[in-house]
Chain A
Amino acid sequence: MKTHSGQADVIVTMIQRLTPRAKVGRLFSRVCKAWRLFGFAIASMTAATAELRASELQVWTGGDRPAFVLPDLNGADIALRSRLGSMVLVHFFATWCEPCRDELPALRRLVARSADAGVTVLAVSVAEVDERVRRFFETMPVNFPILLDRDRAVAKAWEVNTLPTTFVLDRTLKPRLVAEGEFSWNGITAEAMMRALARSQSDPQRPKSSAEGAIGNSGSTTR
């Protein structure tokens, strides 16, 4: 919107210089002002949507969750701890779960538009055979790792009761927000999530759990 407004300013200035008192210039100037207002309104609505979406994430009050190392679809072990310093979305899903299938493309778009903000997604397939997950992502490529929680040990340790469930972890990898069940990631921004994270940290209700071996400490992994 800034770009459009900036271009309009330049055009108005040029027209006014050429025909400072021409009616057509005044009319165009009004149109451009209206366009600037429209652009401002759209930008405000977009920002408001992002804030609203972020505010719909629940503050996580369940304490720390154990760190994990899980294999990805290529057979490489991925440690959650390797994402230290990023805002991490740990997304538990299954390919048979319909809302999950809707959310995966939305998460892909979120990662694409938040690359500079250090947002990363770790998608954890719960209790599925590798082959099924592999086939599924052949037709739906994503820009984040797909991890295989074959025996649902991590889902159990994280007390996941419904799919999908997404935890939003701060840069120290502490869970701060959660979406249990389907959630619309469309329109949400890294900045809005950062502000929601900051608000969650100032929540006086938040328990100060910090079990040994949990994320944020130097404990062991579950695998």
Chain B
Amino acid sequence: MTIDRRSFVKAGVAASLAAGLARTARAEAGYAPRPGAWRTFRMRTLVEIARPEGKVQAWVPLPAVNEVDWARVIANEWTTGAKASRLRDPKYGAEMLHVEWADGDPNPAVEIISTVAVRDRYVDLGRPGAAAPLSEADRTLYTGATALVPTDGIVKQTSDSITASAKTDLEKARAIYEWIVDNTFRDPKTRGCGIGDIAAMLKSNNLGGKCADLNALYVGLARAAGLPARDVYGIRVGASKFGYKSLGANSETVTKAQHCRAEVYLTGYGWLPVDPADVRKVVLEEPPANLALLNPKVISARRGLFGSWEGNWIAYNFAHDIGLPGAKGPVVDFLMYPQAETAAGRLDSLEPDAFKYVITASELNS
């Protein structure tokens, strides 16, 4: 078959229009994840310590969340010339690869390939099911305080105020979600994903931040209301299928695409996916940017991100205050970035180019 230039251009324009219309249609359909086919992603984390000095070691988070409905870790495999140990945190089940290089190794490097299957989540809030009850141990863990997520003082006072008129756990969970969306903002100047020092945020009345701040605030306020809740630290690995550029990884390189979400446990419904921080991300970043809360894209994301989220993201763990075995430096508030130390001290995990590490991801069955 031969195609002349005019026909080729016409076909190209038609294809572009069709793609544009499809995107528009998806955007109009809004953010509506529903469990469907599983998507399998292969993520490669390459750590190459840029300036080795003395004893060099690294602690790299491994995807370790396995949930029947939405996350299956198929494999975590690594290649390195150093001593490598897969470690599991006994409290939260977080996993990391601890790599120790021989002193004087001129090129300390490790490559980790993680293969993970994920799918969209959706909980029908109109129909409570028969979700498995939470164990007492998990209820205690996920209603307890962490170093940066206290559940007393100003956190408790704020939570009480937000949930004063809520009668059920679902109403409480929703009231806190709406409060976060209405009262916080995404601060683009926040380093990395933020810190999550929620008492400081409330005391200073500076409610700007990113996911580790805003969703930690959700978790803390929910726990203070007696609802089990947890941060889910992970990384975006694929584009959003719902037309939201701001809610996906838009290139194969995802070195800076870490993102934490949140869950709240409701009897009958089980763990409910929530992500108020991503609503604020849509407000700030979704083209043309700085959208109003009444913008249809914001309304749709706001409706969707209480009870559903998209399977274009891989979860690492639920952990707070993680000690790094053998480290000289302090515990980390959460384990979402590769960590490393040399004789010069802890490296800056938020400066991947200087560190250095690169993370790439691709979908295997796309």
Residues on A lying within 8 angstroms of B by beta carbon are 96, 98, 127, 129-132, 150-151, 160-162, 180-181
B346 at the interface (CB under 8 A from A): yes
- Which among B39-47, B110-118, B199-207, B220-228 touches the partner chain? B199-207
Identify A129's interface contact among B189, B199, B203, B348, CB under 8 A.
Answer: B348
Task: Assign chain B's interface to a size class.
Answer: 10 to 19
Q: CA A148 – CA B206 in complex, angstroms?
A: 24
CB pair A131–B344 under 8 Å, yes or no, is yes
Given A98-B189, A132-B351, A162-B200, 15 additional A-B pairs, CB 8 A: A96-B191, A127-B195, A129-B345, A129-B347, A129-B348, A129-B349, A131-B344, A131-B346, A131-B348, A132-B348, A150-B330, A161-B204, A162-B204, A180-B204, A181-B204
Residue of A nearest to B339 (CB): A129
A-B contact pairs, 9 of them (CB 8 A): A129-B346, A130-B345, A131-B344, A131-B346, A131-B347, A150-B329, A151-B331, A161-B200, A162-B203
CB pair A151–B330 under 8 Å, yes or no, is yes
Q: CA A161 – CA B195 in complex, angstroms?
A: 13
Residue of A nearest to B201 (CB): A161
Tell me the smallest distance from the CB of A159 to a CB of chain B, in Å.
8
Q: CA A98 – CA B206 in complex, angstroms?
A: 14
Within residues 300 to 320 of chain B, which ones have a CB less than 8 A from any CB in chain A?
A: none
Which chain B residues border A127 with CB–CB below 8 Å? Answer: 195
Tell me the smallest distance from the CB of B328 to a CB of chain A, in Å.
10
B34-64 CB mask vs A (1 if < 8 Å, else 0) is: 0000000000000000000000000000000
Q: CA A127 – CA B331 in complex, angstroms?
A: 11
Q: CA A180 – CA B206 in complex, angstroms?
A: 12
Q: A96-B191, A98-B189, A151-B331 are in contact. Are A161 and B348 (CB under 8 A)?
A: no
Tell me the smallest distance from the CB of B7 to a CB of chain A, in Å.
55
Q: Sorted from nearest, which 8 A-B pairs have the closest CB atoms?
A: A151-B330, A162-B204, A161-B203, A161-B200, A130-B345, A96-B191, A129-B346, A161-B204
Residues on B lying within 8 angstroms of A by beta carbon are 189, 191, 195, 199-200, 203-204, 206, 329-331, 344-349, 351
Which chain A residues border B349 with CB–CB below 8 Å? Answer: 129
Q: CA A132 – CA B351 in complex, angstroms?
A: 9
Residue of A nearest to B329 (CB): A150
Which chain B residues border A132 with CB–CB below 8 Å? Answer: 348, 351
Which chain B residues border A162 with CB–CB below 8 Å? Answer: 200, 203-204, 206
Which chain A residues border B347 with CB–CB below 8 Å? Answer: 129, 131
Residue of B nearest to A96 (CB): B191
Residue of A nearest to B346 (CB): A129
Q: A150-B329, A151-B331, A180-B204 are in contact. Are A161 and B199 (CB under 8 A)?
A: yes
Which chain A residues border B204 with CB–CB below 8 Å? Answer: 161-162, 180-181
Q: CA A121 – CA B24 in complex, angstroms?
A: 57
Q: CA A103 – CA B232 in complex, angstroms?
A: 36
Q: CA A98 – CA B203 in complex, angstroms?
A: 20
Tell me the smallest distance from the CB of B347 to a CB of chain A, in Å.
6
Interface centre among A98, A129, A130, A162 (most CB of B within 10 A): A129
Residue of A nearest to B341 (CB): A129
Which chain A residues border B191 with CB–CB below 8 Å? Answer: 96
Which chain B residues border A180 with CB–CB below 8 Å? Answer: 204
Which chain A residues border B348 with CB–CB below 8 Å? Answer: 129, 131-132
Which chain A residues border B351 with CB–CB below 8 Å? Answer: 132
Q: CA A131 – CA B355 in complex, angstroms?
A: 11
Q: CA A130 – CA B349 in complex, angstroms?
A: 12
Q: CA A71 – CA B245 in complex, angstroms?
A: 44
CB pair A130–B331 under 8 Å, yes or no, is no
Residue of A nearest to B200 (CB): A161
Tell me the smallest distance from the CB of B59 to a CB of chain A, in Å.
14
CB pair A131–B345 under 8 Å, yes or no, is yes
Which chain A residues border B189 with CB–CB below 8 Å? Answer: 98
Tell me the smallest distance from the CB of B100 to a CB of chain A, in Å.
19
Which chain A residues border B330 with CB–CB below 8 Å? Answer: 150-151
Tell me the smallest distance from the CB of B363 to a CB of chain A, in Å.
34
Q: CA A160 – CA B199 in complex, angstroms?
A: 10
Q: CA A161 – CA B308 in complex, angstroms?
A: 33
Which chain B residues border A96 with CB–CB below 8 Å? Answer: 191
Q: CA A138 – CA B78 in complex, angstroms?
A: 37
Which chain B residues border A131 with CB–CB below 8 Å? Answer: 344-348
Q: CA A180 – CA B329 in complex, angstroms?
A: 28
Which chain A residues border B329 with CB–CB below 8 Å? Answer: 129, 150
Q: CA A130 – CA B328 in complex, angstroms?
A: 12
